[in-house]
């Protein structure tokens, strides 16, 4: 996993070795934020704080 935005962009995060942890691919998450940030007219994430509420749930 890695951080996909902000001042720590690109920083890798290591998850515990477990079959119970199934993080969303960092590339998928980055693609979603790119679509939201650049693909919707009149919508901006600039300066927004975003919380991934599903982090670590396997959803």
Enter the tokens of residue 8. Answer: 């720590």
- For residues 29 and 8, give the distance between their C-alpha atoms in angstroms, rounded to a whole number: 15
Q: What is the pLDDT of residues 2-37, one digit of tens each?
A: 787 788 888 888 777 777 766 667 777 778 777 877
- For residues 10 and 8, give the distance between their C-alpha atoms in angstroms, rounded to a whole number: 6
> Could you tell me which residues come within 8 angstroms of residue 20 by beta carbon, excluding any fewer than 6 positions away?
58
Band of pLDDT at residue 54, cut at 50, 70 and 90: low
Please compute the mean of the pLDDT values over residues 31-56 and round it to a whole number. 76
- For residues 40 and 15, give the distance between their C-alpha atoms in angstroms, rounded to a whole number: 32
Enter the tokens of residue 40. Answer: 């919707």
Give the model's pLDDT for residue 40: 74
Beta bridge pairs of residue 2: 12
């Amino acid at each position: 996993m890695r951080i996909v935005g902000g001042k720590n962009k690109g920083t890798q995060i290591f998850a515990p070795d477990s079959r119970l942890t199934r993080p969303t691919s960092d590339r998928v998450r980055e693609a979603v934020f790119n679509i939201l940030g650049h693909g919707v007219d009149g919508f901006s994430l600039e300066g927004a704080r975003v919380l991934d509420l599903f982090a670590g749930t396997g959803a």
